[in-house]
Structure 1
């Protein structure tokens, strides 16, 4: 688990193309997010529970509703669902909604739709800061086990 300062140092040392955007209140809705960045480039990091443990799913906000059954079939899991909030906090040390793109330590599934964007916006591990980063850096700095279309 990274603090915000540790994340910034790690990203600088990794030659990442990023910016950390501060805001006064947590981003709860798309209306909140629109004050700070292009919401079409938003990419939440969802934590999913599978029979093999937790995985991170970095997904385009433009994807809409996720069919977890179909996702499980595509990934080879018999069960995929959103992980329990307390389990997420216990295992990775971050509250759901503040899970960072980088530093969660989980195997990762990455939405290919994000790769056409110059930057994506999402979690920094701190609910009062958003990470703006090149999607190629997110894939490079994570243990991506699968890209989905």
Structure 2
């Protein structure tokens, strides 16, 4: 199976690995438990869609971190996590499968994510993830970097 994100990565000449899962994963624990291959839990990241008066934004952060809505408010005003229906309407996939490289909304990356050597994230399909070097993210997506998480 070829994933849409693979075309983007191949076109940009980015090295990556497709991570196959045995069942649908929606959490970091699910990814670790269901991965068919070796995976470093510290490299697992998540994409969370949030909604504010300014519209939708995709937040890209380490899987172990939580969004600090207090920090986020200083940047984009009051916001909340988008409903599953909004996620499906905006991204075309259900929560847990959102790929930060494929979203059409602005992406905000937490600065701690960029300290990782490699990142592992949703591919747009619940049964597959993508692993790549974090330094290559700029080659395949536009994003803003801020501090919006807490451990």
Shorter chain as normaliser: what TM range? Answer: 0.7 to 0.9
Question: How many equivalent residue pairs?
Answer: 144
1:12 is paired with a residue of what secondary structure? helix
- Structure 1: distance between partners of 2:71 and 2:106: 19
Mapping 1:1-149, distance limit 5 Å: 4-35=2-33, 36=35, 37-63=39-65, 65-73=66-74, 75=75, 77-148=76-147
Change (3 A) 1:39 1:146: same
User: Which stretch of the first structure deviates more once superposed, 30-39 or 48-57?
Assistant: 30-39
- Structure 2: distance between partners of 1:12 and 1:70: 35
Q: Post-superposition shift, 1:137?
A: 2.4
Q: Post-superposition shift, 1:7?
A: 1.7
Does the 8 Å contact 2:12/2:139 carry over to 1? no
1:59 is paired with a residue of what secondary structure? strand
Q: Post-superposition shift, 1:72?
A: 1.5
Structure-1-length-normalised TM-score: 0.85
1:143 is paired with a residue of what secondary structure? coil
Query: How large is the Cα RMSD of the aligned pairs?
Result: 1.9
- Structure 2: distance between partners of 1:29 and 1:83: 16
Structure-2-length-normalised TM-score: 0.84
Describe the superposition over 1:38-87 as per-residue Cα deviations: whole angstroms up to 9, x where unpaired. Answer: 11111101111111111011001232x322132111x1x22111011101
Q: Post-superposition shift, 1:29?
A: 4.0
Give unmatched runs, 5+ long, in structure 1. none
Describe the superposition over 1:104-144 as per-residue Cα deviations: whole angstroms up to 9, x where unpaired. Answer: 11101111212222211110000000111111222332221
Give unmatched runs, 5+ long, in structure 2. none
Does the 8 Å contact 1:45/1:56 carry over to 2? yes
